[in-house]
Amino acid sequence: MAIVNAPDSCVYVALSYCWGKSWHFVCTRENHGVLSLSGALASVPLPNTIQDAIAVTNAMQIRYLWVDALCITQDDVDMLQSQIPHMDSIYGSAALTIIAASGDNANSGLPGVQVGSRYVIADILRFKSLNLMLCPPDFDNIGVQQSTWRSRAWTMQEELFSARKLYFTPDRMVWSCERAYWSEHESREPSSRSKCVAIAPRVDSNEPRLPESTSTNDYDFDTYRGLVEAFSVRQMGSPSDSLNAFAGIERYLFASGGHQVVWGHPQMWFTRSLQWEMNYETDEHHEMHRLSSSDGSTHLVQFPSWSWSAWGRKTEPNTVYWIGVPSDEDHIKDHEPLLYFYECSKNGWKRRLDEQSDRQRNTHRDSQRTILPDWDAFPVEWVSSFLPDPIGFRRHEKLPSSISAPWRESPLTIDPSQDPVSGSWDVSCGHLKFWSSVGTIYLHRRPKIVAGRPWDYTILNQHGKTISHTINMQANNHMEWLDKSNCKAYPPLTVPQDEAEGLVFDAVVIGMQKPSRGSGESGLRNPNYIKALLIERIDGIAYRRGLVSIAEDEWIGLERKWMLVTLG
């Protein structure tokens, strides 16, 4: 056994498992040469899970096994940068993925492979001359959903892209593919359908699914939203991996079709994507993300506050979510941008994030999508190949714009002469620039006892009038909240009373929420709502601290300015 460069289109198995917190053997630049020698892997301390995966691969008479700890040189930055975005191809092209859904680290092993590695009690019911074995727990209760493996961020895309999965749970082995679901404890008849409907829930039935194809005819913003929401609940050892562990999904949906993704936000839905919310108050993790420039150099850039990937996460439902964003139909009709966002590079250039042109790309992915190997070479008869046929992206026709925003002023665009020319753009610095309406609000907070939401918030205008709103706050405890004795500079009616604390915020418009069809009481107008970021300015740069939704007519009544905003 050794680390080798496998031939093109070879049949191989992939391993999906938890690394855990303890050290385990990995491939490095120092030992790579030795590990490439025949028999080298037999003499190194491989963790139990990798050893067991090798045994399972050998038992299936398959020659090659892909394991990230060995097949990616872990201290080779260039190799990491080139391999991490391609998890869709690596797991999508595998003949089978072995899933270690038991234990919480690389030494947990695969239950049942080694003698004595699992303990199964088979209850026997004796009825006259019959000996009956009790049915094992339902598929939902076999331990996968509650496993540490299912809670990890990296394993989400590994499971999604794997066509055939062999789960090793604490008490059984389970096979899952598009056609069938098998457990070693049970015998079932195969289905004649090309895609069977399981008699009982599948082991992955609670997980999000990838679209049937990578054409925008088959998925929309809700597909992206569902994947991000599911991913945001998952945990990772290092917050700096919050985009890396999602990179394969991004590439599958967007990048390989020529569609831009900006810090986790698809350019084709950028305005809507910016309107994310969180289920609890949390802090930025302030980690750095490694980016590669066109000349091959790498740069460390801090995650921007406007990206959902920049914030700490908890194992709670809907950690990141979207409410009140326009439907795809409304978004297409309002093809004229409400605002024009520009991404900034480290060398000072700016590029406009043109949502409409990005949606109209019709690039086929044939040359970059996953290609299955020659299954005739695979010795196991139960393998059946499938992958969605890649087709192009649909074009959206421009329809008459219905945007009406009386608060919107000019300018909207940044001088085109400042846009990057070919070869000038290096890497993003994490900043956005855009012209927008900036309003001043007076925010009061009072303590309350609700998990994840410690404060009740009230928004006042400059006249002390309460503004109807919804509010989603992130980090703000580091800011200097004031009680009534310290608010002498506030307009009299905006001073917090009793146990309340106050703080003045600038709110920056990033989008609008229109009333849904048929909403509102008969005869009453249901207003448009402004979506605005609550910001904190540090050295002239604005940073997201929350998201508010305010009725448009109340927004117009605020103290407002039309400003060029730099959002970091």
172-212 pLDDT, tens digit per residue, is 888 888 877 788 776 666 655 555 443 334 455 566 677 76
Amino acid at 336: E
Dihedrals phi, psi of 259, to nearest 5 degrees: -95, 135
Asked whether residue 507 falls in the same domain as residue 468, the answer is yes
Residue 242 pLDDT more than 50? yes
The whole-chain average pLDDT of the chain stands at 81
> What pLDDT, on a 0 to 100 scale, did the predictor assign at position 1?
86
Q: Assign residue 77 a region: left if phi > 0, alpha if psi is -120 to 50, beta otherwise?
A: alpha
Instruction: State the DSSP string of 437-473.
Output: EEEEEEEEEEE---TT--EEEEEE-TTSPBPPEEEEE
Asked whether residue 475 falls in the same domain as residue 337, the answer is yes
Asked whether residue 20 falls in the same domain as residue 72, the answer is yes
Asked whether residue 312 falls in the same domain as residue 165, the answer is no
> What pLDDT, on a 0 to 100 scale, did the predictor assign at position 254?
86
Residue 20 pLDDT more than 70? yes
> What pLDDT, on a 0 to 100 scale, did the predictor assign at position 118?
82
Q: Which residue has the higher pLDDT, 503 or 172?
A: 503
Q: Lowest-pLDDT range, 48-52, 115-119, 249-253, 332-336?
A: 332-336
Instruction: State the DSSP string of 368-424.
Output: TS-----GGG---TT-----PPP-PPPPPPP-------TT--S--S--GGGSPPTTT
Q: Lowest-pLDDT range, 6-15, 114-123, 461-470?
A: 114-123
- How, if at all, do strands 173-176 and 165-168 pair? antiparallel
Asked whether residue 511 falls in the same domain as residue 561, the answer is yes
Q: Is residue 352 part of a domain?
A: yes
Query: What is the rounded distance in angstroms from the CA atom of residue 327 to the CA atom of residue 325?
Result: 7
> What pLDDT, on a 0 to 100 scale, did the predictor assign at position 97?
98
> What pLDDT, on a 0 to 100 scale, did the predictor assign at position 222?
87
Asked whether residue 193 falls in the same domain as residue 267, the answer is no
Asked whether residue 197 falls in the same domain as residue 227, the answer is no
> What pLDDT, on a 0 to 100 scale, did the predictor assign at position 487?
86
Residue 392 pLDDT more than 70? no
Q: What is the largest CA-CA distance in the chain?
A: 90
| C-alpha neighbours within 13 Å on the C-beta side of residue 165 | 28
In angstroms, what CA-CA distances link 33 with 6, 50, 67, 73, 77?
16, 20, 17, 11, 17
**Average pLDDT in the 213-238 region?**
81
> What pLDDT, on a 0 to 100 scale, did the predictor assign at position 22?
83
Asked whether residue 427 falls in the same domain as residue 503, the answer is yes
**Average pLDDT in the 122-151 region?**
76
> What pLDDT, on a 0 to 100 scale, did the predictor assign at position 200?
37
What's the pTM value of the predicted model, to 2 decimals? 0.83
> What pLDDT, on a 0 to 100 scale, did the predictor assign at position 451?
60
Residue 80 pLDDT more than 70? yes
Q: Is residue 512 part of a domain?
A: yes
Domain that holds residue 30: 1-118+136-207
Residue 140 pLDDT more than 90? no
**Average pLDDT in the 47-53 region?**
96
Residue 388 pLDDT more than 50? no
- Taking a C-beta distance cutoff of 8 angstroms, is the pair 274, 306 a contact? yes
Q: Is residue 254 part of a domain?
A: no
> What pLDDT, on a 0 to 100 scale, did the predictor assign at position 139?
53
Instruction: Give the Cβ contact number of residue 382 at 10 Å.
Output: 12
Q: Is residue 114 part of a domain?
A: yes
| Helix 153-161 and helix 221-232, axial crossing angle in degrees, nearest 10 | 130
Q: Is residue 385 part of a domain?
A: no
Nearest to 343 by CA among 243, 276, 277, 418: 418
Q: Lowest-pLDDT range, 57-66, 284-293, 426-435, 517-526?
A: 517-526
Percentage, residues of the chain above pLDDT 90: 45
> What pLDDT, on a 0 to 100 scale, did the predictor assign at position 385?
31
Taking only the tens place, the pLDDT of each residue in 141-170 is 567 888 899 999 999 999 999 999 999 998
Residues 6 or more apart in contact with residue 183 via CB below 8 angstroms: 136, 139, 142, 172, 173, 174, 175
Which residue in this structure is represented by tokens 């950690």? 319
Nearest to 15 by CA among 97, 73, 76: 97
Residue 67 pLDDT more than 90? yes
Asked whether residue 20 falls in the same domain as residue 168, the answer is yes
Three-state secondary structure call for residue 535: strand
Q: Is residue 382 part of a domain?
A: no
Residue 299 pLDDT more than 70? yes
The separation between CA 443 and the C-alpha centre of its own chain, rounded to angstroms, equals 31
> What pLDDT, on a 0 to 100 scale, did the predictor assign at position 29?
92
Percentage, residues of the chain above pLDDT 70: 77
Q: Is residue 374 part of a domain?
A: no
- Strand blocks (E) in 191-310: 261-262, 265-266, 277-278, 288-292, 298-302
**Average pLDDT in the 395-403 region?**
36
> What pLDDT, on a 0 to 100 scale, did the predictor assign at position 486?
87
Residues 6 or more apart in contact with residue 138 via CB below 8 angstroms: 200, 201
Query: What is the rounded distance in angstroms from the CA atom of residue 220 to the CA atom of residue 394?
Result: 11
Asked whether residue 12 falls in the same domain as residue 45, the answer is yes
Looking at the 3D structure of the chain, how many domains does it have?
A: 2
Asked whether residue 200 falls in the same domain as residue 266, the answer is no
Nearest to 93 by CA among 165, 18, 14: 14
Query: What is the rounded distance in angstroms from the CA atom of residue 483 to the CA atom of residue 497?
Result: 8
Which range in 39-48, 333-342, 429-438 is most confidently predicted, on average pLDDT? 429-438
> What pLDDT, on a 0 to 100 scale, did the predictor assign at position 365?
37
Q: Is residue 128 part of a domain?
A: no
Dihedrals phi, psi of 309, to nearest 5 degrees: -75, -5
Three-state secondary structure call for residue 368: coil
Q: Which residue has the higher pLDDT, 248 or 219?
A: 248
Q: Which residue has the higher pLDDT, 216 or 324?
A: 324
The partner residues of 559 in beta bridges, in order of sequence, read none
Which residue in this structure is represented by tokens 């966002």? 341
- Taking a C-beta distance cutoff of 8 angstroms, is the pair 81, 137 a contact? no
**Average pLDDT in the 416-443 region?**
81
Taking only the tens place, the pLDDT of each residue in 303-362 is 999 999 999 887 666 689 998 776 655 555 555 678 999 999 988 888 899 887 766 654
Asked whether residue 195 falls in the same domain as residue 229, the answer is no
Alpha helices by DSSP H, listed for 178-309, are 221-232, 247-253, 270-273
> What pLDDT, on a 0 to 100 scale, did the predictor assign at position 189?
60
